[in-house]
Amino acid sequence: MKNNVVIILWIFSQLVSAQQLAQNYLSNLPKFPDNGCAVTETNKNTFYQQIDRVIEAIELDIERIHKQQPPADQNQLLSTVSGGEAADEQLAQQKLMKDHGISSMDLKKIENMSEEELQEWGEKYVASNRGKHSQSSARNQYNINTELQDLQNRLSTYKEGWMKMQAEYEKKEKQAKTDLDLCLEIVLKNSPEPQYRGEACINQKVIDEYITKNEQRCNDNYCQAIAPLKKQMINKKWGELPQVLRLLSQIQTAQNNQVKEQTGLNLNASQSNELAALDLVKEFAGEMRNML
């Protein structure tokens, strides 16, 4: 179980998300076109290239962070399971005695208890003064948990808003696609009848011009219906991302404080990385690319 706790603590340390680097990449993304229906192939390719450069740079930074992530940070935690076993055990015992009044002798007794004996001991433990957390520790835990819950609720509000916005877009896009298919079907149905001289169609050029002209009208109507929705969705998420990046950092700090209060390990002092924020900006850049 101790191994699991240490691994969890290390995972927490990996999620630390200072938002500065990610914010810089967010600022380097190209502006989404005001009218996606009027974008030329040249401008579209330029837009794609700018997006791709940002994504490539993010991927390089993610790779760099993975490589530069000091093994000492992980090993410092894992050493409490191997070479640092004695120090870790002493720290855990001090924490248990301070916050719970449980000594190493108590723990050894607990390990050898039957289920009935453990239940009886637990009832006595809760009823005793030793079973009560110190008032200060309990208050700190409550404040940290309250802050963390508030931050997570605020983050959930953003994510739920994005999911709702995406669902609404997909619903309208599906209807627009249905209208497009119907329009194209009508174009083919109303196209001029072929006229033949022998086996040759003598009015094929007229038919092709009619279909090309009217299919373009269908596609234009589809684009005009969808393009504003795309821009609205991109701009809303883009405007909210800085707050989300900041929330991620605040949540990690609160989680670190929670771990420190529970175990005495100060993860705020460990090297923080930006992987979570970089992944989020990279995902958003990909969404921008797919939307145009």
Cβ-defined contacts of 147-152 (< 8 Å, 24+) = 147/254, 148/251, 148/254, 148/255, 148/258, 151/247, 151/250, 151/251, 151/254, 152/251
Per-residue pLDDT, averaged over 117-137, amounts to: 60
pLDDT at 218 (0 to 100): 96
Per-residue pLDDT, averaged over 86-109, amounts to: 60
pLDDT at 128 (0 to 100): 62
Which residue would you say has higher pLDDT here, 107 or 140? Answer: 140
pLDDT at 92 (0 to 100): 56
Confidence bin at 131 (pLDDT 50/70/90): very low
pTM: 0.65
Confidence bin at 139 (pLDDT 50/70/90): confident
Q: 202-243, pLDDT tens digit by residue?
A: 899 999 999 999 999 999 999 999 999 999 999 999 999 999
Highest mean pLDDT among 16-25, 41-50, 79-88, 194-203: 41-50
- Is 90 exceeded by the pLDDT of residue 174? yes
Give me the percent of the chain exceeding a pLDDT of 90. Answer: 46
pLDDT at 146 (0 to 100): 87
pLDDT at 86 (0 to 100): 53
- Is 80 exceeded by the pLDDT of residue 127? no
Which residue would you say has higher pLDDT here, 169 or 10? Answer: 169
pLDDT at 157 (0 to 100): 95
- Is 70 exceeded by the pLDDT of residue 162? yes
